[in-house]
Amino acid sequence: MIAEASGEVWRLPSGLRFLEAITDTVARGGATNLLLEDWVDRAAFLDELRSHLAVRGLTLQSLQDADSIAPSPLDCLVAGLGLPDVRARYDAPGDEMMRLVGLAELPDAIAMVASGTGSIGTSAWIEFAYAWSKASKRHSDGGSTAPALCVVLPTSAARDRDLPTDAQLAACWMLGVPEALEVRLICRLVDASDTLAARRWREHVVPALCGSDLGLVPYLWEAVLGDHAALLSALDDYARERNWDERSLRELGVDRLARSQVSDISDGVSDFSPPPRLRQAWSSGAVMATADHVPEANSAALRLLDAEDVLLQRLWRGQVGLVLPGIDGVRMAMCLQLTRRFGSSWATEFCLPLIDDEASAVRDSALACQWGHLLHLLRRHRRLSDYIEWIPVARKARLVRNRLAHGVPIAYSEYADLLEAAQRCGFAQWL
């Protein structure tokens, strides 16, 4: 599932914008440290980048340090590209980088995927990119064009160090990709469930919890259809998979984002780069952001940071967008049918709502009849006896509406029961 979802990202607006930004950076030459989220399929991403560069007439060759047993980045690159040994030449010793960058055999751009798990650590690749940028500048000052180097790093590579930047050295972070609306679309594209309720529920609730972290999606896929304990268990499993713990998250400052409100984060999300004060926290992978929501702690990290109330709020915000408009649509459809048959008097002739504001509204329009009054009339008003089959729908809708209106999340089973009852009465299209 995650591979399929990852592939879809690069066809959506935020993914395309990110690819174009990286293409622009690589096309300018020099060196780039590119930090990608762990869930990204590196090979698929580089295929897309290769296509974007090809449109500009540039070639890209990609390598993985995990495929090499070379002792250093330079040896790894030379061996991977099948280049002559730049150390064996007669030029001044210690100038291997200048000779490497000047080789005619190099493609226009090289992408090196640094795994961080082999004999060459990510720190060595960051230093190598810096040396490449210096050699590129010297070639540029001499009137020649040096090829580009793009080192693809996990976000954790920046946990213990700053990434240097200058005119020939860029640092690009994958930030705000994909957006929440795009995750909804991805869920719709990859969901093969036969159940309408499950498809609609996942499409709204999963993005609310996972944000831009598609790696969390497989853990939530079935869990959001279960009870609250199943959801918490899935989040705990993901936190263990990412090797997160409370102490390290607090040291990196992730806890400060757990309860942040919009007004607390003035930096926002821009240029696919986290604000400087968030970069160390971002490096843990436990911080996410979309255009819809400011940088916030990953839902799986909230459990470790004693912020389960924030988790419930996210769960609620995913449900509200799906359920509350649908419930109001069902109410309006019922009121419209009754008005067409009986005229507007059906809402006032038997009795009025006890709340003055509701009574005033229903006098003005029968379509303003709220669930409590509507349910009372369906049960008591003889003229509405042909519509008693609506009572189960009205009862369930009123209960769900009241809970969500007071900020209390509901269970998937409650939504599924409501949708099933609505289907029997012909109102499923609203939910």
Least confident span in 2-11, 76-85, 327-336, 398-407: 2-11
CA atoms within 13 A on the CB side of 263: 0
- Residues 34-47: b if buried by 16+ CB within 10 A, e if exposed: bbbbebbbbeebbe
164 and 199 in a single domain? The answer is no
248 and 329 in a single domain? The answer is no
Least confident span in 132-146, 212-226, 390-404: 132-146
First to last CA, the chain: 26
Task: Tell me if 239 is assigned to some domain.
Answer: yes
Per-residue confidence at 87, pLDDT binned at 50, 70, 90?
low
Per-residue confidence at 2, pLDDT binned at 50, 70, 90?
low
pLDDT of residue 48: 96
235 and 382 in a single domain? The answer is no
Residue type, 370: Q
Phi-psi sector, 275: left (phi>0), alpha (psi -120 to 50), beta? beta
Domain that holds residue 138: 2-173
User: What is the number of structural domains in the chain?
Assistant: 3
Task: Tell me if 374 is assigned to some domain.
Answer: yes
135 and 190 in a single domain? The answer is no
> Could you say which of 173, 194, 229 is where a domain stops?
173
Task: Tell me if 410 is assigned to some domain.
Answer: yes
- Local structure of residue 161 (DSSP, 8 states): S
159 and 207 in a single domain? The answer is no
- Local structure of residue 34 (DSSP, 8 states): E
Task: Tell me if 311 is assigned to some domain.
Answer: no
> Could you say which of 280, 306, 332 is where a domain stops?
306
As a whole number, mean pLDDT of residues 376-382 equals 96
155 and 269 in a single domain? The answer is no
214 and 249 in a single domain? The answer is yes
Rounded percentage of the chain residues whose pLDDT exceeds 70: 93
Higher model confidence: residue 99 or residue 57? 57
As a whole number, mean pLDDT of residues 302-327 equals 95
Higher model confidence: residue 150 or residue 159? 150
Q: Coil, helix or strand for 169?
A: strand
Q: Which of 282, 250, 259 is nearest to 176 (CA)?
A: 282
Q: Is a pLDDT exceeding 50 seen at residue 259?
A: yes
Task: Tell me if 259 is assigned to some domain.
Answer: yes
Query: How far apart are the C-alpha atoms of 256 and 108, rounded to whole Å?
Result: 43
CA dihedral 65, 66, 68, 71 (to 10 degrees): 70
72 and 31 in a single domain? The answer is yes
Return the structure tokens found at 326.
């649908």
Mean pLDDT of the chain: 90
Task: Tell me if 315 is assigned to some domain.
Answer: no
Counting every residue written for the chain, the total comes to 431
290 and 381 in a single domain? The answer is no
- Local structure of residue 61 (DSSP, 8 states): E
> Could you say which of 125, 144, 173 is where a domain stops?
173
